[in-house]
Chains A and B, each alone.
Chain A
């Protein structure tokens, strides 16, 4: 009877010790994770710090759990063996997640973008909210939350729009064949020279794209600070339109000359009707 009572008390002690280890371990894991995050925030970006916090926390939590189980008298060798079999089973079942996890690690190493950047993946463009173990979260400009699996980011072409401080806007237009191209260049350059957002250097590029179906193709490329690119697109397009109108330079309508017997030409089939470009 006494022996049984002593065993019961011993068992209670074991459980109490195990609980103590668990509580202290949890607290330690939290403290260490926070300390690691704070330490890394000073030198690294938010993403790395966040990852370090999670890594430290889960590692210490694992250790605590193992120690707690040991205190309770579990045979860890058997448990680890079972865990090995379980890992294989889980691994087969969660191939996609594992692939995303590995891709996430590659993404962190390669750093094609970081939190706060504007990126385009496939047909989605948005601001990076977080780069997590399995996916990257974006906020699109119309305020939609988009989750993109890391694997598809690694496979797909990613455009980071906010990497460099300045960007170029390509204004493409077509002018009538009979227009004076030297005057056109002067008009376009005067427009960009007067625009408050357009950069004076690198110089705007005036390029003739060649003879097109309805006129001569022209590209006028102007640089602007990255944040002002959309404002430039609107203001420059408006100013160019006004300047071309003032200079009498025409952007041609689509025309189709129909030749043949008079009665056919005068019929004007619906497909040949001039439509505005």
Chain B
């Protein structure tokens, strides 16, 4: 039986959506660094996942719901049998933003000149959420590319655990390669000061951002903005509530994990850069 996909355009690289998998059938996905094998059992789902240790550039192309008749024997893989009451054949895959802020360091020093305004496109890693049945019961969340960890704070005893990332500090959306295992965040920086603004690190409060998907397979968060005033002081970060400015149409795929700015980032944003 064909891997039937419900309600999405399979030609594009949109790995998220609903899949119908009959009892006894197995499917394989490869998104980012994740190898995922899902088998539909009589009363549940068998999920085998394996994280490859590869760089962004070395990642193989996407595989979506390829039919397989065997499960690979991989001792390093995680195998979990989920028994769920909902007996429907539906499997829903959804992208999720990180559950902690992501601190990205520019790959090369980036300086916002005096009086300049610039929009940077910063990528953050995504997780895949597996939900089963008509009621979409949550089975698990798997990282599409497990990020490294870092500490963000004024000292080693005050701060917050974050994920670490590197950014190319791209200033044009079209320069950003299509990577459906990452979400892009447009960050608008306005320097009203009389000296240059050297960006050391950018901390994005991704748990407070909504996630949007475009038909071409790109994933975006809402936009962010901040400014540095004439005295050189950094303002608070502002989260745009609307969909990204880039051409749509956009589908909202996920609400923010956290509401408000209760995290340390809200308070320490002045030391972000």
- Chain A residues in the interface with B (C-beta under 8 A): 163-166, 193-202, 223, 225
Contact = CB atoms under 8 A, between A and B. Distances in A.
Contacts of B164: 199-201
Interface stretch (B64-72, B148-156, B236-244): B148-156
B3 to A, nearest CB: 32
B149 A165 contact: no
A200 B161 contact: no
Contacts of B149: 196-200, 225
B205 to A, nearest CB: 17
Nearest to A165: B161
B92 to A, nearest CB: 28
A223 B148 contact: no
Contact of B151 (A163, A193, A195, A201): A201
B151 A196 contact: no
Given A201-B164, A202-B156, A225-B161, A166 B151 contact: yes
B156 A164 contact: yes
A202 B151 contact: yes
Interface residues of B, number: 14
If over half of A's interface residues share one DSSP class (helix, strand or loop), that class is named, otherwise mixed; here it is: loop
A4 B141 CA distance: 86
Contacts of B148: 193, 195-196, 198, 200
A197 B159 CA distance: 17
B131 interface: no
A229 B157 CA distance: 15
B146 A196 contact: yes
Contacts of A195: 148
A223 B156 CA distance: 10
A199 B146 contact: no
Given A165-B161, A196-B149, A201-B201, 13 more contacts: A164-B157, A194-B53, A196-B146, A196-B148, A198-B149, A199-B150, A199-B151, A199-B164, A200-B149, A200-B150, A202-B156, A223-B156, A225-B149
30 contacts: A164-B157, A165-B157, A165-B161, A166-B156, A193-B148, A195-B148, A196-B146, A196-B148, A196-B149, A197-B149, A198-B148, A198-B149, A199-B149, A199-B150, A199-B151, A199-B161, A199-B164, A200-B148, A200-B149, A200-B150, A200-B164, A201-B103, A201-B151, A201-B164, A201-B201, A202-B151, A223-B151, A223-B156, A225-B149, A225-B161
A190 to B, nearest CB: 13
Interface string B150-173: 111000110101001000000000
Contacts of A199: 149-151, 161, 164
Contact of B161 (A163, A166, A198): A166
Contacts of B152: 201
A196 B146 CA distance: 8
Contacts of A200: 148-150, 164
Most B-side CB within 10 Å, residue of A166, A197, A200: A200
Nearest to B147: A196
A165 B53 CA distance: 27
A277 to B, nearest CB: 32
B157 A201 contact: no
A201 B271 CA distance: 14
A194 B148 CA distance: 8
A72 B56 CA distance: 86
A225 B162 CA distance: 10
Contacts of A165: 157, 159, 161
Contacts of A198: 148-149
A194 B149 CA distance: 11
Most A-side CB within 10 Å, residue of B146, B164, B201: B164
A197 B163 CA distance: 11
A-B pairs, top 8 by smallest CB distance, nearest first, are A200-B164, A200-B150, A164-B157, A201-B150, A199-B151, A199-B150, A199-B149, A166-B151
Nearest to B166: A200
Contacts of A197: 149
Interface in B177-220: 201
A199 B160 CA distance: 12
A166 B148 CA distance: 15
Contacts of A202: 151, 156
A164 B151 CA distance: 12
Nearest to B159: A165
Contacts of B150: 199-201
A134 B261 CA distance: 43
Contacts of A166: 151, 156, 161
Nearest to B53: A194
Nearest to A166: B151
A94 B53 CA distance: 64
Contacts of B53: 194
Most B-side CB within 10 Å, residue of A166, A201, A202, A223: A201
